[in-house]
Amino acid sequence: KDPTTATSLYNDESSHPVIEYRAHTTSASLGLSTSQKKDESISKPIFLLDVSWPRVIQFYLPSSPACQNFRQHYIQTAREFRHRSVRTSVTFYAVNCAVHGSLCEYDFEILRVPFIAAFAAGSVDMEVLERDEREVNEISLSRLSEVLHSPLNAVEDLGAG
């Protein structure tokens, strides 16, 4: 039994469009040699290598009640944001810190989960959206739109309401 699938919160179809980060897919998708694959997959996750579009990343621990409670909200936020985005495709990732501990601890210095970070298109500069688990109840779509430089259609424009 693969421990990474058993302990991930975002590895099934119900979590679409959130992508569960997996280190091995980073290098394979880039066509790197075996030695480059090892170095790249350790040093740079795909959401830092491909900066063509805006990205939102949730760092989480599957054993954390706060992360478990936040799961459905993160998925709904991803769905609504992608549906309402005017001109850009935004990719939402989830990084399991139980599996990718060094990435969370050393590369991003994650001290508490859930931790939400956003990267505007063309940028590797992280904008922190949520840092303290007591404050993570929801992600403001307007704040996310502002950070990602990605305008949203009004709800009325979508025929809702």
53/90 Cα distance (integer angstroms) = 6
SS3 83: helix
Confidence of residue 61 (pLDDT cuts 50, 70, 90): very high
The pTM (predicted TM-score) of the whole model is 0.76
130 forms beta bridges with: 116
Q: Over the stretch 14-52, which tens digit does the pLDDT of each residue have? A: 889 999 988 754 444 444 444 444 444 456 787 777 778
Helix, strand, coil percentages for the chain (3-state, nearest 5): 40, 15, 45
| φ/ψ (deg, to 5) at 24 | -70, -25
